[in-house]
Structure 1
């Protein structure tokens, strides 16, 4: 029996430079499970996805993160890429939005370099998480414990390393949000 996310509202937070497959695969899996998805960003209009360093598609932003309230959502998904989380971590509203979710105990799922946002939001101390290997030192320096696992769940955080982990990542989000 599959888990239903009917009635669940999930925010995705991304901007230009998002690793496209880390946005589209979890989004499709969560929508298939019945979730309502909103794409939030730090600017209006469309954001550009990438396939590593090659430009991919563009995606319509539903709402500015500065206009969104964490209380309106059941979970938050943070896709990676390098440019995307690097830009988001410099935006006060984006960082505060992530921190609000964690402080409320709501699931926050970050993959690849998106763990930079968790570091910036100062929510990794004492927690186990994984990420793209180049982010390990940042996590450790912020007081987190980095593990090399396909998916790591240390409530409320769900983390994965890279696009190769997307199936496990999406499955864990559906399991946790569907409880």
Structure 2
């Protein structure tokens, strides 16, 4: 994605995009981070920079995972979607980075089905987390304390439920990387929480 004209921080975010992802879960977060002045790169998990979502929307990533050092990013995000999540889970580089981040207290964000990845790696035992309703049992079966909140922040782990909570997730990431005031400025700018009147 284009780097914001004015950066609010030198912190950087990598959003890992695999074929079959839920595109809104990735792009809503990227959008609000851009508005907050946070550099965010779409990193393609696969051989091509072109990635096609579960809804057959194709977009161009900034870099390929094979050419990227994820440890150089301050925060890594895993969007959900099917088969996007299994495609992320099938990448050794992804699972190695998920494990490294949660074991070294570096931030990891996951939404929808994607929280099942750290759960299945045995990394959520005793941690608060949420996921798409279809994946909550996976988290519980692997020892997570599950929640139905839109976004759950447990230390360096931030999880969310699905496409409709992606903006909430992005705002939570802004609060995590910057502060509440920065998130509030973006809320105002995107007219967050307004209601239609008939």
TM (norm. structure 2) is 0.80
Q: What RMSD, in angstroms, separates the aligned Cα atoms of the two structures?
A: 1.7
Aligned to 2:51: 47
Q: Following the alignment from structure 2 to structure 1, what is the Cα–Cα distance between the partners of residues 39 and 163? A: 23
What are the residue-to-residue correspondences of 1:129-144 with 2, within 5 Å?
129-144=129-144
Q: Is the 8 A contact 1:21 1:163 kept in 2?
A: yes
Aligned to 2:28: 25
1:156 offset after TM fit, Å? Answer: 0.9
Q: Following the alignment from structure 2 to structure 1, what is the Cα–Cα distance between the partners of residues 177 and 122? A: 23
What are the residue-to-residue correspondences of 1:1-12 with 2, within 5 Å?
5-12=8-15
Structure 2: where are the runs of 5+ without partners? 1-6, 180-198
Helix, strand or coil for the counterpart of 1:126? coil
Helix, strand or coil for the counterpart of 1:114? coil
Residues matched between the structures, number:
172
What are the residue-to-residue correspondences of 1:80-91 with 2, within 5 Å?
80-91=80-91
Q: Deviations over 1:22-67 (max 9, x none)?
A: 11110011122111122223313211123xxx31232325131x44
Aligned to 1:63: 64
Q: Following the alignment from structure 2 to structure 1, what is the Cα–Cα distance between the partners of residues 8 and 63? A: 20
Q: Following the alignment from structure 1 to structure 2, what is the Cα–Cα distance between the partners of residues 58 and 167? A: 20
Correspondence for 2:37 among 31, 34, 37 = 34
Structure 1: where are the runs of 5+ without partners? none
Q: More strand by proportion, 1 or 2?
A: 1
Deviation >4 Å, runs of 4+: none
Q: Following the alignment from structure 1 to structure 2, what is the Cα–Cα distance between the partners of residues 159 and 110? A: 5
Q: Is the 8 A contact 1:89 1:116 kept in 2?
A: no
Work out which of the two has the higher radius of gyration on C-alpha atoms and give 1 or 2: 2
Q: Following the alignment from structure 1 to structure 2, what is the Cα–Cα distance between the partners of residues 108 and 60? A: 20
